[in-house]
Amino acid sequence: MSNKIRVVVWNEFRHEKTKAHVKAIYPDGLHATIKSFLDKNDDMEVTLAALDDPDQGLPDELLENTDVLIWWGHAAHGEVKDELVAKIQDRVYLGKMGLIALHSAHMSKPFRNIVGTNGFLSWGRNQKEVVWNLLPQHPICAGLPDHFVLETEELYSEPFYVPQPDALIFGSWFEDGYIFRSGLCYLRGAGKVFYFQPGHEECPSYYNEYVQKIITNGVRWAAPANIGFEIVCCPQLKTKATEE
Ligand code: ZN
């Protein structure tokens, strides 16, 4: 068995097909851009998935062989089948897979169900964002400066209706004066969840070297620690994992 981290980048992949200005930034979809920088890492094996693919991009065989699921959705959250969301939730809770929710995935069913929130926030015009590194010792912050600037990103503002995170690692300032908790880590069940705010479809943030570093570090952080090993449950106890 390969010890590589098996990453699936799931994208709603609609805006890039219907809006010329989005397609101009991400011609093959923003998930392809994310894959292209993750592919530079020898310890990762990256697969693309999209909402309009068969089985909404995540047939059982692929999901059961995913260590980290990266999720980008926006206008079609409601189309994602509850049955699929339940499978994703189970896999994260059992510690078999980590979830990275990007940008508008704050309203996605997987993020809201797993973290336990309505995910509401306020938003506004695209503008300059300064992302501050609040926890330099966190593994996701490795190799980052104390802050970096995104010349244009969609304003997201507090209050962000999420549970208090286990670690708050990025905080952002926006040109109009608003602030937002832009990098949040959660432990849920035996699994890990990372929410990261940059990545509006009209903005080229996934080409930014620091955003790329954060998502790359996020994959390594969210990946189960036991890749390559079977999860062994105590045979005397009945658990969800042993019943399956
Ligand atoms: Zn957006």
Expressed in angstroms and rounded, the spacing between residue 237 Cα and the centre of ligand 1 is: 45
Expressed in angstroms and rounded, the spacing between residue 153 Cα and the centre of ligand 1 is: 8
**Quick one: 132 exposed, middle or buried, by C-beta within 10 A (0-12, 13-18, 19+)?**
middle
DSSP string, 175-191: TTS-EEEEEEEEEETTE
Q: State residue 242's pLDDT score.
A: 54
Domain membership flag for residue 132 = no
Q: What is the rounded distance in angstroms from the CA atom of residue 193 to the CA atom of residue 56?
A: 21
Domain membership flag for residue 156 = no
Expressed in angstroms and rounded, the spacing between residue 201 Cα and the centre of ligand 1 is: 6
Q: What is the rounded distance in angstroms from the CA atom of residue 199 to the CA atom of residue 104?
A: 8
Domain membership flag for residue 175 = no
Domain membership flag for residue 135 = no
Q: State residue 136's pLDDT score.
A: 97
Q: State residue 243's pLDDT score.
A: 55
Domain membership flag for residue 204 = yes
Expressed in angstroms and rounded, the spacing between residue 236 Cα and the centre of ligand 1 is: 48
Q: State residue 3's pLDDT score.
A: 86
Neighbours of ion ligand 1 (CB under 5 A): 104, 154, 200
Residue pLDDT tens, the chain, 244 long: 578 999 999 999 999 999 999 999 999 999 999 999 999 999 999 999 999 999 999 999 999 999 999 999 999 999 999 999 999 999 999 999 999 999 999 999 999 999 999 999 999 999 999 999 999 999 999 999 999 999 999 999 999 999 999 999 999 999 999 999 999 999 999 999 999 999 999 999 999 999 999 999 999 999 998 765 555 556 666 655 555 5
CATH code of 60's domain: 3.40.50.880
Domain membership flag for residue 27 = yes
User: What's the domain range around 110?
Assistant: 5-118+182-243
228 secondary structure, DSSP code: T
Domain membership flag for residue 214 = yes
Number of structural domains in the chain? 1
Q: What is the rounded distance in angstroms from the CA atom of residue 122 to the CA atom of residue 108?
A: 16
Q: What is the rounded distance in angstroms from the CA atom of residue 241 to the CA atom of residue 167?
A: 27
Expressed in angstroms and rounded, the spacing between residue 103 Cα and the centre of ligand 1 is: 6
Domain membership flag for residue 197 = yes
